[in-house]
Structure 1
Amino acid sequence: MKGRPDCPRCQGKGLIFDPDPQKPVVLCGCTVDLAPDVETLGLPARYREAEFTRFWKWWNNAQASHVRPLLDRVGDLEELLARPAEEVGELEGREDLVKLLQALKRRPEHGIRPAGAEALAQWALSGKHKFRHGWELWWIHGPAQSGRSTLAAAALRAWTERLGKGGRFVSLRTLSQSIKDVYHDIRSYQNQAFQSVRDLIEPLQDQPLLVLDDWDRMDTDIRVAQALAQLLDHRYSEELPTILTAAGPPEALDRRENHPLARLEDGSLLERLRGAERVEMVPALRFWIDRMERR
């Protein structure tokens, strides 16, 4: 990490060391000016202006017609929490529901935002989040046009700007095709730069933050799956934060017949994906109401 060479606080180091060795090292404010720009991050034109404030406004407008019906069901959720545990059974994520209902008393829009999105924003903006499985892995899922890629781009921008570190936004569909092109024969060769799989994967392995957009659209070629699995294995080993977006939850990969990840028979990888922190592109109250009604 480097700061501005003329900075009087850090003398270009980017870090401020307190004379008291018990106090933590602080990131110097001058590094914000050096944060990666949208082109360095690889953000497509559609997502270059993505940020949480704009996303919340767009999302609230899109969900405006659902606000009152959802808020009318808050009492049902409060009643569910009040019932004896032996009567309703174990409620997975009870603490999350309690926090949501408390937040609603301050600002009703908290119940309209996508389930898990506020935790993602808090992590990106302030670094505060307790990961259940250790690795900083996020899985954002929802149907087409639900805003999952925009939300991932907003998190990437906020995280890199806060820390002054780099990052990368990658289309999984494009990356998959590039990996597949490495193996094409001379009659249909698309890899005119003669890149190897290593050339394609290595620049992504140690990105401080990596977004892999449309993870579920990887090519069915088993060699593509092997390369992507190695990429995630490396990032897991190095404890590097990663965000994946997809149409469905990670469990959906197991259910897809002949899916390349399932053919790898890599149980550890699938388990890590299932253990990712989830963001579902439905209003948080709708998420909990649906769960309550399925009980």
Structure 2
Amino acid sequence: MKGRPDCPRCQGQGLIFDPDPQKPVLVCGCTADVAPDAETLGLPARYREADFARFWKWWNNVQACHARALLDRVADLEDLLARPVDEVGDLEGRDDLVKLLAALKRRPEHGIRPAGADSLFQWASNGKHKFRHGWELWWIHGPAQSGRSTLAAAALRAWTERTGKGGRFVSVRTLSQAIKDAYYDVRSFQNQAFQSVRDLVEPLQDPPLLVLDDWDRMDSDLRVAAALAQLLDHRYSEELPTILTSAGPPEALDRRENHPLARLEDGSLLERLRGAERVEMVPALKPWIERMERG
């Protein structure tokens, strides 16, 4: 635990020790003003230096060879918006496209950044975003090595620094195995601490912000799905912000045969997941250009 370096009471230790050894150690009030460090957040070593500035730089380098071709199509999208509605039909998400093109006029890189990432940045860094379905739930999806976990870690760091509150970054794959081991799986016997499912899940229920990384890598065991569904139900009830990362969008869960969440037959949970704010790890202009080309 860390306190403010200039705090006269704890000298930055975050703890106040009474001269009387019989009296308890107290947590200094200045700790509320210090954002948790990477280790406290549970960030793996790979993501401990993640922040939005580093992420934007990395992403721009990755997309450099495609950026010019995408920006050259902006005029076509503006023409699409200018055409009569009875000619182009009802353009779903028209307002989002208008906002994107307006942002592009200020800074062209907005068209190259991942679709929805600017909204995630504004929410995490400035507290500015209107959630369509009430719950502060984000779904970041994209293929392997697309940067989705790094972006989630950057959002976690920015949010905790802005609010001064804590958070946790959790691998769903690792958590799934731990839950299975809690049932004394004869194939592993890894639960040497004799932890129950409650011991594993309860600490994740109330962190001010929780990142569940690789949600799609949840184990197929129905008991694992039930525990994770209960975790999300609790956070939904308490209105606690949550970020999930996955290879595909929430709708992909419905399409996967025998997926454990589908087997739970929890329509409310699936509906909440489908209502999450989306970040897709492709340049923001790309989905619009592809839609335009499909007609």
| TM-score, normalised by the number of residues in structure 2 | 0.89
Q: Percent identity?
A: 86
**Preserved contact between residue 32 and residue 161 of structure 1 (Cα < 8 Å):** no
The CA deviation at 1:290 is 1.4
Matches of residues 202-217 of structure 1 in structure 2 within 5 Å?
202-217=202-217
1:121 matched to 2:106? The reply is no
- Structure 1 stretches of 4+ with a deviation exceeding 4 A read 3-8, 30-33
Distance 1:199 1:124 in 2: 29
Matches of residues 73-222 of structure 1 in structure 2 within 5 Å?
73-185=73-185, 188-222=188-222
- Per-residue CA shift, 1:162-215, capped at 9, x if unaligned? 000000000000000000111134564111010000000000000100000000
Question: Helix, strand or coil: the match of 2:38?
Answer: coil
Matching residue's letter, 1:191: N
Question: Helix, strand or coil: the match of 2:40?
Answer: coil
What corresponds to 2:266 in structure 1? 266
The CA deviation at 1:133 is 0.4
**Preserved contact between residue 32 and residue 162 of structure 1 (Cα < 8 Å):** no
Distance 1:157 1:238 in 2: 22
**Preserved contact between residue 220 and residue 259 of structure 1 (Cα < 8 Å):** yes
Question: Helix, strand or coil: the match of 2:139?
Answer: strand
Moved more, 76-85 or 246-255: 76-85
The CA deviation at 1:107 is 1.3
Mark the CA change 1:50 to 1:84 in structure 2 (over 3 Å): closer, same or farther.
same
Distance 1:67 1:213 in 2: 28
- Per-residue CA shift, 1:85-142, capped at 9, x if unaligned? 2222222221111111111111111110000000000000010000000000000000
What 5-or-longer segments of structure 1 have no aligned partner? 9-29
Mark the CA change 1:198 to 1:83 in structure 2 (over 3 Å): closer, same or farther.
same
**Preserved contact between residue 152 and residue 245 of structure 2 (Cα < 8 Å):** yes
**Preserved contact between residue 133 and residue 276 of structure 1 (Cα < 8 Å):** yes
Mark the CA change 1:146 to 1:6 in structure 2 (over 3 Å): closer, same or farther.
closer
Q: How many residues align?
A: 273
Mark the CA change 1:227 to 1:106 in structure 2 (over 3 Å): closer, same or farther.
same
Question: Helix, strand or coil: the match of 2:169?
Answer: strand
| TM-score, normalised by the number of residues in structure 1 | 0.89
Question: Helix, strand or coil: the match of 1:244?
Answer: strand
**Preserved contact between residue 125 and residue 162 of structure 1 (Cα < 8 Å):** yes
Distance 1:70 1:53 in 2: 22
- Per-residue CA shift, 1:247-290, capped at 9, x if unaligned? 00000010000000000000000000000000000000112111
